[in-house]
């Protein structure tokens, strides 16, 4: 049975399981777990790959490196969107509002982006 699909309304709605106001979900809900990622396969923002697996009706696809100039990262603190390149190559914080992102997410990048697994 599929899990509850919560939608955080807004310009770029975020989908997931048990979302809070900053896009934390049932799977990742630490203070810095505030990044939502637009999935290449469907163009929809999800809180994490586990949320996508729980509520989407299709498998996830990773973003190829030649599309890292697209805005596919959403800050849960200020709702700013970042390019994938900015997110991958910057410090683990929103360059707009300064909210800290979870630095441990780096070990999960291969679920979303065509990068070598760590």
Model pLDDT, residue 97? 95
Q: Which helix (H) or strand (E) holds 89?
A: helix 84-89
Predicted TM-score of the model (pTM): 0.89
The two tokens of residue 47 are 């809180």
DSSP state of 96: T
The series of mean pLDDT values per 10 residues for the chain, 118 residues long, is 51 88 96 98 97 97 97 95 94 95 95 83
- Among residues 44, 49, 72, 48, which one has the least CA distance to residue 60? 49
Model pLDDT, residue 1? 37
């Amino acid at each position: 049975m599929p899990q509850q699909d919560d939608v955080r309304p807004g310009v770029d709605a975020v989908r997931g399981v048990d979302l809070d106001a900053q896009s934390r979900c049932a799977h990742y809900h630490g203070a810095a777990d505030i990044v939502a990622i637009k999935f290449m396969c469907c163009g929809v923002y999800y809180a994490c790959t586990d949320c996508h697996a729980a509520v989407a009706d299709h498998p996830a696809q990773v973003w190829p490196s030649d599309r890292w100039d697209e805005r596919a990262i959403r800050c849960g603190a200020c709702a700013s969107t970042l390019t994938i390149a900015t997110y991958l190559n910057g410090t683990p914080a929103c360059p707009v509002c300064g909210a800290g992102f979870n630095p441990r997410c780096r070990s999960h990048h291969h679920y979303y982006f065509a990068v070598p697994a760590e």
